[in-house]
Amino acid sequence: MKIPTFLILCFASVVLADDFKAIDGKEYKNVTVSRIEADGIVLRTKSGISKVYFVELPKEVQERFHYNAAIASAYSAQQAVSQSTTAIAGRGQPVEVISHGAQVDINLHLALGNVTVVDFYADWCGPCRRLTPSLEQMAMSDPQVALRKIDIVNWRTPVAQQFNIHSVPQVNVYDRGGRLVGTVVGADIDEIKRYVTQAKTGG
């Protein structure tokens, strides 16, 4: 029996409207699953779009979406490589996402000889999303600035604890020699630019 297309579409939209509760207690109510990726689900809410990683969700949700840790790890690594090898338009350096919650040796990712801006962010963070275009524009227009991004995923991940992150966005600015010049908590692009200028002259 053939089912009319509009009935299939309606059925799909009803099925995908759902509630989710993360293992840390955060709730996502009346959301629509916009996309399923190997390492998480992209949810559409009234306030926008956010990605929730499977490691944040209970086992029954992981099983429902056929989560496989090995495949997810490979997918995350592939995404990081893809982003790190793709330079944003213009003369700037590539933007690298160097961690999705895992500990990271920041010294291995500093662009020695240039200023390195490290952006600690999370997909669910509104101020982070507002700050991102300004950071990328800065890196795009200035070949002396390298942008590295660290997705903390949530407050309890190893990388959040490693750098003692209690608020995002947080931006660390390192000079040409790899020394930390300053830290900006919040989406204050002007303060970030001041530290970048200081890092250029002091490194």
Just list the catalytic residues: 125, 128
Q: Which residues in the chain are classed under CATH 2.30.30? A: 5-67
Q: What is the mean pLDDT of residues 19-26?
A: 82
pLDDT at residue 10, rounded to an integer: 36
Phi/psi at 175 (5° precision): -80, -175
On the 0-12 / 13-18 / 19+ scale of CB atoms within 10 A, 66 is exposed
Q: Could you read off the pLDDT of 58-73 as tens digits, one per residue? A: 899 888 888 887 776 7
Global pTM exceeds 0.75:
no
Q: Which residues in the chain are classed under CATH 3.40.30.10? A: 87-202
Lowest mean pLDDT among 42-46, 79-83, 112-116, 171-175: 79-83
pLDDT tier at 78 (50, 70, 90 boundaries)?
Answer: low
Architecture of domain 87-202: 3-Layer(aba) Sandwich (3.40)
pLDDT at residue 44, rounded to an integer: 76
Q: Does residue 24 carry a pLDDT above 50?
A: yes
pLDDT at residue 79, rounded to an integer: 60
Architecture of domain 5-67: Roll (2.30)
